[in-house]
Amino acid sequence: MSGALASTTAGSRTADTVMLIHGAWQGSWAWSGLIPFLRDAGLACLAIDLPGNGHSREARSEITLQSYLDYIGRLLAELPGKVSLVAHSGGGIVASAVAEAFRERVSRIAYVAGMMLPSGVSFASVQRSLADSESVTLGITGELEWSKDRRYSTVPRAAAKAILFSDCLPEQASFAAERLTPQPEGGRAIVAVTTPERFGTVPRLYVEATKDMSIDIVLQRRMQELVPGAAVVSLPTGHTPQLSAPDLLANSLIPFLLGESASSPAEGLGRGETETMQSTTGVEQ
């Protein structure tokens, strides 16, 4: 089975495996800091490499959303019971599509600064709809470098460190920027078609990153308005809290993944109330 699998401890409070879905240009490596916290809570974790990303060997020019669904479908066939999906950034679209296609296998979805979108709506269209707002930035979109046939894009290292990994420690940002791989456009400019009867019945948590320089907080909150019903937790982090503050992210995710609560155990945690929190990784938030 492809991906990084962390086995659950004895006496786990949930039978669900947590499937971690990375965002564009990334891979399963992006979850390495978060997995120990989830494992210590008794959760089995599977961090995957989507086809054409990470350490995957598939030809990038041939990747589509269906490629992702076929791959995850094969993984689900090997896993017992149900899964909880944790999806970062563009991985959110994949998670929504997975929940629609495999509803009987999906218990819940947590979006981490994720693209949580209505059926048939692209992230680019939501981004364009807010383009006139002075408070909304294009994030990494305007920094991409393209192949001649525009079938895949890459992120310059300087832009990655400044935008995707803006609040990571310098060594973390450099490590992550060097690990990025070209992203198939067929797996980036994707649209999930969902229904109220399938995707619409999945419990959802949205972990918003208020200092995100890639998916502006205004965009994150607009997506929450467009797809209402998710519980929301705010973290005062940049785009990748799984790298910059994995302990804070874990505290927000674990109650939800254990089926206990969608809220962080931190008292009073909510929008505008997290500015004084500090991660044990040493990154002041």
User: Contact, 206 vs 212, CB < 8 A?
Assistant: no
183-227 pLDDT per residue, tens: 999 999 999 999 999 999 999 999 999 999 999 999 999 999 999
35-39, 262-266, 275-279: which range is least confident on average? Answer: 262-266
Q: What is the pLDDT of residues 10-48, one digit of tens each?
A: 334 445 999 999 999 999 999 999 999 999 999 999 999
Average pLDDT over residues 253-275: 58
Instruction: Name the band, by pLDDT with cuts 50, 70 and 90, for residue 128.
Output: confident
Q: In whole angstroms, what is the distance from residue 46 CA to residue 53 CA?
A: 16
Tens digits of residue pLDDT in 86-118: 999 999 999 999 999 999 999 999 999 999 999
Give the residue extent of every domain in the chain: 4-257
Q: Which residue has the tokens 């809220």?
A: 263
The Cα-based distances of 51 to 69, 163, 222, 260 in angstroms read 10, 24, 29, 33
| Assessment of whether the complete model's pTM goes beyond 0.85 | yes
Amino acid identity of 28? S
Percent of the chain clearing pLDDT 70 (strictly above):
82
- Token pair belonging to 17: 């495996």
pLDDT at 59: 61
Report residue 137's pLDDT band, with 50, 70 and 90 as the boundaries: confident
Strand (E) or helix (H) holding 14: none
* Domain spanning 4-257: CATH 3.40.50.1820: yes
Q: Measuring CA to CA, how many Å separate 58 from each of 50, 61, 71, 148?
A: 9, 9, 11, 19
Q: Where are the beta strands (DSSP E) in 151-277?
A: 152-154, 183-184, 204-209, 231-235
The tens digit of pLDDT for each residue in 38-69 reads 999 999 999 999 998 866 666 666 899 999 99
